[in-house]
């Protein structure tokens, strides 16, 4: 069950990276496309390091497929950052992890994986848990509160579909290439994908302004990308050793881990939750906990 360990560790790193991304968006930049460009540029430090230490081989057509997968990965990332910009990080990570539903469908159609009825029930519970957290309570003009769907759902719809296709494609690529080659070529695809964004003057200006904010901000970005790098590597190794459906279901733990990280960090850093725009009032925590229970039970049924 090696894949469970890899997937769980990767999810922990992704959770920490999500908190850091929310901190950057709420404190240092409001342009999610400019942030994405900054992230991809910094991530090349890790790609170059991997290339120097481990090396890379060009394997046709797998390396080309990996490059294309990395290129296409940029689009769902933009949608994710937009959602993160307008919603609490714990809610976004919960809604983000609805993509396993699409992986369930795609893995059966494209990879020939077989799902037992128990796994289908687990997938349904994951959907219910993530959907429940999308509701939020509004009280306009001091009137009685009512429930509305989170505004983060709209940018996440395409994110779910594109992310599912990405994970299914890397499972296919890993059949005939190794994990490090996949990482390096997909990272190169990320770099190629941001070139059109760099052609936009306003984004170039925002990128330049971001790197001029000082060493602490740059260090925060590098730390975020270090966490993202570790999460990506462990996720790739999990996909290579286990079923893509099962691996993606472990990712559903991310919102729970994210909320725990925020709560623990808030003990040592007063005001952090407010800075992250994370609601940690009792009613909100109860609401999220109920949603997380559905997620946990769903993961249990899938496995």
pLDDT at 255: 76
In terms of phi and psi (left: phi > 0; alpha: psi -120 to 50; beta: otherwise), the region of 142 is: left
User: Read out DSSP for 51-96?
Assistant: HHHT-----TTHHHHHHHHHHHHHHHHHHHHHHHHHS-HHHHHHHH
Among candidate residues 279, 289, 255, the one with its CA nearest the CA of residue 94: 255
DSSP state of 200: S
Question: Do the Cβ atoms of 248 and 99 come closer than 8 Å?
Answer: yes
- Which residue numbers in the chain have pLDDT < 70? 1, 110-115, 119, 130-131, 133-150, 277, 302-303
Between CA 118 and CA 143 the distance in angstroms is 44
pLDDT at 135: 60
pLDDT at 111: 63
Between CA 56 and CA 298 the distance in angstroms is 38
pLDDT at 136: 56
pLDDT at 79: 83
């Amino acid at each position: 069950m090696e894949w469970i360990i890899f997937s769980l560790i990767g999810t922990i790193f992704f959770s920490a990276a999500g908190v850091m991304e929310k901190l950057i968006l709420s404190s240092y930049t409001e342009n999610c496309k400019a942030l994405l460009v900054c992230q991809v540029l910094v991530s090349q430090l890790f790609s170059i390091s991997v290339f120097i230490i481990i090396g890379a081989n060009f394997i046709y057509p797998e390396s080309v497929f990996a490059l294309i997968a990395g290129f296409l990965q940029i689009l769902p990332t933009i949608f994710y950052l937009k959602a993160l910009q307008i919603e609490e990080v714990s809610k976004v990570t919960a809604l983000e992890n609805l993509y396993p539903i699409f992986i369930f469908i795609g893995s059966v159609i494209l990879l020939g994986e077989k799902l037992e009825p128990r796994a289908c029930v687990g997938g349904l519970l994951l959907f219910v848990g993530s959907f429940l957290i999308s509701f939020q309570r509004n009280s306009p003009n001091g009137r009685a509160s009512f429930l509305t769907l989170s505004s983060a759902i709209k940018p996440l719809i395409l994110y779910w579909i594109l992310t599912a296709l990405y994970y299914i494609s890397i499972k296919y690529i890993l059949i005939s290439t190794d994990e490090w080659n996949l990482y390096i070529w997909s990272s190169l695809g990320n770099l190629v994908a941001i070139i059109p964004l760099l052609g936009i003057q306003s984004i170039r200006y925002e990128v330049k302004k971001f790197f001029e904010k000082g060493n602490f901000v740059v260090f925060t970005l590098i730390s975020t990308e270090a966490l993202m790098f570790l999460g990506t590597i462990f996720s790739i190794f999990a996909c290579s050793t286990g079923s893509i459906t099962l691996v993606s279901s472990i990712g559903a733990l991310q919102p729970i881990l994210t909320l725990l990280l925020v709560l623990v960090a808030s003990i040592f850093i007063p005001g952090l939750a407010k800075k992250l725009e994370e609601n940690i009032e009792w009613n909100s925590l109860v609401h999220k906990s109920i949603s997380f229970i559905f997620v946990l039970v769903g993961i249990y049924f899938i496995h």
